[in-house]
Structure 1
Amino acid sequence: MKVLSIDTSNYPLGVALLEGDKVIGEYITNVKKNHSVRVMPAIEMLMKDCDVKPADLDKIVVAKGPGSYTGVRIGVTIAKTLAWTLNIPLAGVSSLEIFAASAGRYFDGVVSPLFDARRGQIYTGLYRYKEGQLVTLVKDQLLLSKDWADQLSEQNENVLFIGNDLPLHQDIFEETLKDQAVYAAPTEHNPRPAELALLGRDREGEEVHSFVPNYIRLAEAEANWIEANKEKKL
């Protein structure tokens, strides 16, 4: 089975090709550039270098959020278009889960990937590897990093934090968790698109037209519109 994975859910852009258990190609960048104009050329370059044609693909796997609203939409839209055009299955994977898979396989403890959500908030969840399988302990959520640190302090084990936005919240984790907090190495803060492909490879395909991103919260414009219209009704 040949799997193409796509992740544009945050600043890192990643695409990968997986054939069975073999990673045959992977492309990652972490720059503040427009994913909408870069992702298709990246896919085309990767497939050309790996001598893979669109008709050779058996499945598309995409990072479905949380993350950047625009970034998530770009990746999901392209993945849905490819899956529908090629008539192959589409699977979505949590953007946070990809981080946990990238760094937590050999960590003796739990893994907390995170993205900054502004105003002291983070997107995060809690994961653990058990018997070689990544298990979700706390599903993806949005909360204050201070509240998350307080919750984690109640667990009697080490916590591995990972993500490019970690420096924005690291002081809080250090203050609350002290030696219980462990931080991923710099080379581990970009999510691996090959891990994304591996996570989604064996998952059941989803209906393409009804597949939607997981933003966790509404975009600010949507929230403002709902609030404004709520007041009008009152």
Structure 2
Amino acid sequence: MTVLSIDTSNYTLGVALLDGDYVKGEYITNLKKNHSVRVMPAIEQLMKDCDIKPADLSKIVVAKGPGSYTGVRIGVTIAKTLAWTLNIPLVGVSSLEVCAATAGRYFEGVISPLFDARRGQIYTGLYQFDNGHLHTLQEDQLLLSADWAPKLKEQERKILFIGNDLPIHRSIFEEVLGDQAVFAEITEQNPRPSELALIGRDKEGEDIHTFVPNYIRLAEAETNWLKANKEKKEINHD
């Protein structure tokens, strides 16, 4: 089975090719650049370098969010298009789960991957490896990092934090958790697309037409539009 994985859900752009138990190739950058013009050339170049043709692909695995609204949408749209065109299964995996898998495999504790969501908020969840398998302890959610830290304190065990946005919120976790908090090294922060491929390799394919990203919240522009229209209706009603 040859799996192509795609992750554009945050600044990190990653694509990988997994052939059975062998990682044939992997491409990662962590740049604030337009994923929409870079991801397809990255896929094409990786497949060319690895001597893989589109017809050789068995499954497409995509990071489905949470993360950047635009980034998540780009990755999911491309993944759905490829899966539909090639008539092969499509699998979506939590972007946070991929982040947790990147550095937590041999950590004896629980893992809290995070992405910054602005205004003191983070996208996060709680994961743990058990016998080589990553399990979800708490589903992905959006909340203030100042509210998340006390909840983690109740775990009474080591917590591994991972994610490129960690420096924004690190001081809060250090203050509340002290030695209970463990922070991944900078070389472990980028979510690995090969981990994404591995997670999705054995999962059942999803319905391509009904598959949607997991934004967790509406895009800010959409939220503001809904709020403005609600206020406008209330004014007209009065």
Partner of 1:202: 202
The separation in 2 between residues aligned to 1:128 and 1:6, in whole angstroms, is 23
The separation in 1 between residues aligned to 2:220 and 2:92, in whole angstroms, is 24
| 1:45 lines up with 2:45 in the alignment | yes
Size of the aligned set, in residue pairs, is 234
Question: How far off its partner does 1:78 sit?
Answer: 0.4
Equivalent residues in 2 for 1:59-74, closer than 5 Å: 59-74=59-74
Partner of 1:56: 56
Runs of 4+ deviating beyond 3 Å:
none
Name the aligned partner's letter for residue 46 of structure 1. Answer: L
> 2:14 aligns to what SS in structure 1?
strand
Question: How far off its partner does 1:225 sit?
Answer: 1.9
Partner of 2:8: 8
Name the aligned partner's letter for residue 11 of structure 1. Answer: Y
The separation in 1 between residues aligned to 2:225 and 2:146, in whole angstroms, is 29
* Residue identity (%): 79
Equivalent residues in 2 for 1:104-143, closer than 5 Å: 104-143=104-143
Question: How far off its partner does 1:232 sit?
Answer: 3.6
The separation in 1 between residues aligned to 2:197 and 2:60, in whole angstroms, is 8
The separation in 1 between residues aligned to 2:99 and 2:229, in whole angstroms, is 38
Question: How far off its partner does 1:220 sit?
Answer: 1.0
Q: TM-score, normalised by structure 1?
A: 0.98
Extract unaligned runs of 5+ from structure 2.
none
Partner of 1:98: 98
Question: How far off its partner does 1:231 sit?
Answer: 2.7
Question: How far off its partner does 1:117 sit?
Answer: 0.4
**1:181-205 per-position Cα deviation (integer Å, ceiling 9, x unaligned):** 0000111000000000000111111
Partner of 2:148: 148
Partner of 2:160: 160
Extract unaligned runs of 5+ from structure 1.
none
CA RMSD of superposed structures (Å) = 0.8
The separation in 1 between residues aligned to 2:27 and 2:224, in whole angstroms, is 37
The separation in 2 between residues aligned to 1:232 and 1:12, in whole angstroms, is 39
The separation in 2 between residues aligned to 1:153 and 1:18, in whole angstroms, is 38
**1:70-112 per-position Cα deviation (integer Å, ceiling 9, x unaligned):** 1001100000000000000000000000011111110000000
> 1:5 aligns to what SS in structure 2?
strand
> 2:136 aligns to what SS in structure 1?
strand
Question: How far off its partner does 1:233 sit?
Answer: 3.7
Equivalent residues in 2 for 1:82-93, closer than 5 Å: 82-93=82-93
Equivalent residues in 2 for 1:214-225, closer than 5 Å: 214-225=214-225
